[in-house]
Structures are given as C-alpha cells and as structure tokens.
Amino acid sequence: MIRPTTPDDTTALIAIADAIGFQPNELEELSKMLADYFSSDRDSDRFWIADDDNGLVGVAYCEPERMTNRTWNLQLIAIRPDRQGQGRGATLLRYVEQTLTARGGRMLLVETSGLPVFERTRAFYAKCGYEEEARIRDFYAAGDDKVVFRKVLHNETPRKSLK
C-alpha cells in the first residue's frame, strides 16, 4: 500500500536510508529534512510517500524545482534491500509520476552517482523510461560524477520566442 508518510514513520525511513548505504552526514540531513517537513505546513508542494506492507519497506520524496515551469526533482527513492527486485521501486516511481501528472507536473528529474556501484540504480531509471540528460564530472567527489535523468510527464508545445 502506498500512502503519505507520517511523523511515526521517521525512524523506519532513516533505517531504510541507513540500510541502503547512506553515510552518517546524509542520515543527519535526512533527519533534518523529515523534521522540517513534519513541522511545516504539509499542504506545500513537496511530498513524502511510503510503501507500507505491515511495516515500511520503501520511501520516495519529491519537490518542485524552484524557478521552473512545473519541473520536479525526485530527491529520494529507496526500498529496503531485502525487498528490492520485487517491482516495488518501479511501482513507487509510477505512483510519484501519476501524482505529479495529476498536479500538472511537466517533467521529473532524478539524480544519482556515476560510480560503478550505482550502475544498477542507473539501469533502473533507464528501464523506467528515464533518459540520461546530463553528467557533471567530479560533482560529489573527485571521480564521482552526478548523473541527471529526465522524464517528460506532460508534453506541451514550447513557447515561441518574441525576439
């Protein structure tokens, strides 16, 4: 069952991030993001959703890209390692896409590392219909590129320039 997250999910969400290899500083930042989200007006555009199967098994977090026309960024999607390979990640990602499409979203961006250990992640996005759009060399650290994937959710005719 996919549902909105609640404050009671915080510990389980951090445990999932820890299980998939988040570093201590990343776990600390995630904890701050969750605290901020749950303490703020949840009618905002950003959202957290959870895959709950009698216990949290997955999470996704999405927010709009500032100063863009309906472009969103999937900041986090994670499935517990013992539940990966069952189609849960693809189902959660489709749910995010459907939610954004219903909200009028135009495009979804996803970022990941270019390290070999993330090859499976990059293949997952490609399998889900995302195209590699950009690569920023040495972004995360020397030798660790940032790879940006893109998927158009809603096609529209580009605006014509008045120049």
Q: Give the model confidence (pLDDT) of 110-150 as tens digits.
A: 999 999 999 999 999 999 999 999 999 999 999 999 999 99
Half-sphere exposure of 96 (CA within 13 A, CB side): 33
Q: Give the model confidence (pLDDT) of 43-92 as tens digits.
A: 567 888 888 888 899 999 999 999 999 999 999 999 999 999 999 999 99
Is 160 within a domain?
A: no
For residue 133, the domain's CATH number is 3.40.630.30
Is 46 within a domain?
A: yes
Is 157 within a domain?
A: no
Is 159 within a domain?
A: no
Is 63 within a domain?
A: yes
Is residue 163 predicted with pLDDT exceeding 90?
A: no
Is 163 within a domain?
A: no
The reported pTM is: 0.87
* Containing structural domain, residue 32: 2-152
- Average predicted confidence (pLDDT) for the chain: 90
Q: Which is higher by pLDDT, 162 or 78?
A: 78
**Domains: count for the chain:** 1
Nearest to 60, CA basis, from 95, 32, 25, 8: 95
Is 161 within a domain?
A: no
Is 129 within a domain?
A: yes
pLDDT of residue 157: 61
